[in-house]
């Protein structure tokens, strides 16, 4: 199965991906996580991406397309879920070209949220720098405050989760990423999911949609 997850910053893409990966055994290809790993490893790619990410702007298409083409190729045989890529129509066109010989995207899960919940989700988010697990200080607390349930690492706050940067990320989402929903709708593969409700309810809805695909 090849799935694309769309949604505004804080819609819960990373949170739901973790569930899908466990249930369906797909590769989780998160462009944001790959970029953050490159930054912490101090690679050339990480250095190029840094200023865009810190400002809440998109990293240029050519950098992202090269980075993700490699990841998609490696994960192609087992199936994958794309989280944060594509994020522009140019990226989606390039992804389609790279998949042309190998089948298309099976489903696009479009996580929809009311923007009034975004800031609280982002400023309360805490992540594990070791395994990438995502928590929230109110909605999804770790068992021991400030520590990852999986490996005990100290949880951190992302530098782009400040109110100012979140506002720009939202604006960038509307301008550059939202047009992708129509791009994919033409292929009839978009499932809209109401994502501003309890994470388990969102998970149940996501699984219900995916089960219909598995049965086809």
Which residue ranges make up the site for ligand AP5 (CB under 6 A)?
Answer: 7, 9-15, 31-32, 35, 52-53, 56-59, 64, 84-85, 87, 91, 121, 124-125, 134-136, 139-140, 160, 169, 195, 199, 202
Q: Which is nearer to ligand AP5, 11 or 109 (CB)?
A: 11
Active site residue 36: no
What do you get for the CA distance between the two ends of the chain, in Å?
12
29, 79 contact by CB (below 8 A): no
- C-alpha closest to that of 67 among 40, 37, 103, 42: 37
Nearest CB to ligand AP5, comparing residues 3 and 58: 58
Rounded to whole angstroms, the Cα distance separating 192 from 195 reads 9
For the beta carbon of residue 13, count every other beta carbon within 10 angstroms: 22
Identify whether 197 is a catalytic site residue. no
Which entry of 87, 121, 126, 203 is annotated as an active-site residue?
Answer: 87
Question: Which one is catalytic: 39, 121, 125, 126?
Answer: 125
Q: Closest approach of Cβ 31 to ligand AP5, in Å? A: 3
Q: Is 169 an active-site residue?
A: yes
Query: Closest distance between ligand AP5 and the C-beta of residue 204, in Å?
Result: 11
Q: Is 131 helix (H, G, I), strand (E, B) or coil?
A: coil
- Among 152, 147, 142, 1, smallest CA distance to 82 is for 1
In the bound state with ligand AP5, the residue whose beta carbon lies nearer, of 107 and 136, is 136
Is residue 79 within 8 A of residue 161, CB to CB? The reply is no
Tokens 């912490």 locate to 40
> Is residue 87 flagged as an active site residue?
yes
CB of 212 to ligand AP5, least distance (A): 21
Concerning whether 125 is annotated as a catalytic residue, the answer is yes
Active site residues: 13, 87, 125, 158, 169
């Amino acid at each position: 199965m090849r799935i694309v997850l769309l949604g505004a910053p804080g819609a819960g893409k990373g949170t739901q991906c973790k569930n899908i990966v466990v249930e369906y055994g797909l590769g989780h290809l998160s462009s944001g996580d790959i970029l953050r790993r490159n930054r912490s490893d101090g690679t050339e790619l990480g250095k190029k991406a840094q200023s865009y990410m810190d400002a809440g702007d998109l990293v240029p298409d050519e950098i992202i397309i090269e980075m993700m083409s490699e990841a998609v190729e490696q994960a192609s045989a087992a199936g994958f879920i794309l989280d944060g890529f594509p994020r522009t129509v140019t990226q989606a066109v390039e992804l389609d070209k790279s998949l042309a010989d190998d089948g298309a995207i099976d489903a696009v899960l479009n996580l929809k949220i009311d923007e009034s919940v975004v800031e609280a989700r982002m400023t309360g988010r805490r992540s594990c720098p070791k395994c990438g697990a995502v928590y929230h200080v109110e909605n999804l607390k770790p068992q021991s405050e400030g520590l990852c349930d999986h490996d005990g690492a100290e949880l951190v706050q992302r530098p782009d989760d400040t109110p100012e940067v979140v506002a720009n990320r939202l604006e960038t989402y509307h301008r550059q990423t939202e047009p992708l929903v129509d791009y994919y709708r033409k292929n009839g593969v978009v499932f809209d999911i109401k994502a501003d409700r309890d994470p388990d309810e969102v998970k149940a809805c996501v699984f219900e949609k995916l089960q219909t695909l598995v049965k086809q």
